[in-house]
Every structure is written in structure tokens, then in C-alpha cells.
Amino acid sequence: MQTDSTDLIDRLVAAYNRCDARAFADCFEENVSVFEHPGTPAQQTREEIFQYYRQLFDQYPQNRTEILHRITIGNRIIDHERVRRHPESEAFEVLAIYDLGERLIKRLDFIRS
């Protein structure tokens, strides 16, 4: 599953960097759990993820992330990312902890700098 799971997260990151909210949301199970650290619920469905990221990408059309480090443990992938809203903006760092289901992401936890 490791290759398939890293391929899924690579597709997610590529969709994010293209600002493609539909392709991004399609990497998640229909009923997903997204949390902001320390456990604050964010989105709970694929459609909520689509709506949130569509607005984010509309607001920041040059939004990009760079994977600094990746750890895979069982069905979890942890990415340390550097995000910029546009090329001249100050970057911020994020830990994204992906909990994978059979084929798609079933839970995502964010820890932001």
C-alpha cells in the first residue's frame, strides 16, 4: 500500500499546486474528517473540502506548497510542508497528517506554524 498511498498524496499535492479544488477534494472519502490542531473540526465531507478549497484557490490563485519531508508509517503519511500564498509572500509551515482508508484519505489533521 505504501506506493499507492504516496501516489495518492502526490496527486493531492499536485492538485493543490494547480489550484484544482475538484481534483484535490476527490482524493478524500465522501465522509472525511479534517481537523485543525488541537482537534478543532474543520471539514467533514468531500463537498465541504471542495467548497473550502475552491474559495481558497480563488482568493490565492498562486498558492503553492512544497514538501520538505515525508514519513510513512503504516496507513499514515506525515508531510512537513512549506506553503506560500503567492511567490512574494512569507512562507508558513504545516504538518499534514493523512490517515488513509482503503483507496482515499479518510482523515487529515493539520498543525500550522
- The predicted model scores a pTM of 0.91
**Lookup: cell for 55:** 474559495
Q: Name the residue ranges covered by the structural domains of the chain.
A: 2-112
Three-state DSSP at 71 gives strand
pLDDT band at 1 (very low <50, low <70, confident <90, very high): very low
pLDDT tens per residue, range 31-74: 999 988 988 889 899 999 999 999 999 999 999 999 999 999 99
CATH code of the domain made up of 2-112: 3.10.450.50
